[in-house]
């Protein structure tokens, strides 16, 4: 059971501090090096599922310029899921890198 890329980045963006919708969009864009730009529809589709699955929960609500701003945070289950997924991806990457390195031991790390 893997996470989709948007879900993975949204969970990662929530590590350490709760964020609100637009804050998550900005943080995901920063983390992915401008590669993953979440649309509002995508963001809330994923958030709805993450909340339903218990990986994310509401932290607090604030009123900003007359509009409701909800902050979300990672749950313990969410932290564990993210850690497990990160480990899974890292292990997969290690397998591929290992094979590639075994194929060309001379060229790795040599001068250009």
Partner 1 sequence: MTSRLEERYRAVLRVLPPAYRAAWEEEMVATFLESMATEDPEDAEFLAEYGRPHWSEVASVLGLAIRLRLPALRLRLGGVGAPPRYRLWGDAVRQVALMGLLTHAVLATVTVVNLLWEAGKLPWLPPPPWPFPAPGPRAALRVFLIFATVPAYLALLSGRRHAAWLLALLGIGSVRASALAVGQPFDAERWSLLLLDLLLLATLGAFHRDAPPVRRGPWLAALPVGVVLTFGATSAEAFWHSDWPLQDPAGLFAAALIGAAFAHFAGALRRARRPAAPRSLALALLALGLIGMRAVTLSDYVGHAPPALHATLLSVGLVEVAGLLAVGVPLALLALRAVRRLPAPGLPAGAGSRSAGA
Residues in contact with partner 1 by the rule CB under 8 A: 20-22, 25, 39-45, 48, 67-70
- Please, which residue, 68 or 102, has the CB nearer to partner 1? 68
- Please, which residue, 63 or 112, has the CB nearer to partner 1? 63
Q: How far is the CB of 48 from partner 1 (least distance, A)?
A: 7
Query: H-type helices in the chain, by residue range?
Result: 5-13, 21-31, 40-52, 76-103
Q: What ranges make up the beta strands (E) of 1-112?
A: 19-20, 56-64, 67-74
- Inter-residue contact 91 to 38 (CB < 8 Å): no
Q: How far is the CB of 83 from partner 1 (least distance, A)?
A: 27
Q: How far is the CB of 64 from partner 1 (least distance, A)?
A: 8
- Please, which residue, 44 or 60, has the CB nearer to partner 1? 44
**Tokens, residue 57:** 């929960």
The residue among 37, 51, 45 whose CA lies nearest residue 9 is 37
């Amino acid at each position: 059971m893997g996470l989709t890329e948007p879900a993975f980045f949204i969970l990662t963006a929530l590590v350490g501090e709760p964020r609100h919708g637009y804050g998550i969009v900005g943080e995901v864009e920063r983390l992915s090096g401008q590669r993953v730009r979440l649309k509002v529809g995508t963001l809330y589709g994923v958030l709805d599922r993450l909340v339903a699955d218990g990986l994310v929960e509401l932290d607090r609500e604030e009123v900003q310029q007359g509009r409701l701003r909800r902050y979300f945070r990672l749950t313990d289950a969410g932290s564990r899921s993210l850690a497990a997924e990160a480990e899974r991806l890292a292990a997969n990457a290690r397998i591929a890198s290992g094979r590639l390195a075994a194929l060309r031991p001379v060229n790795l790390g040599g001068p250009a």
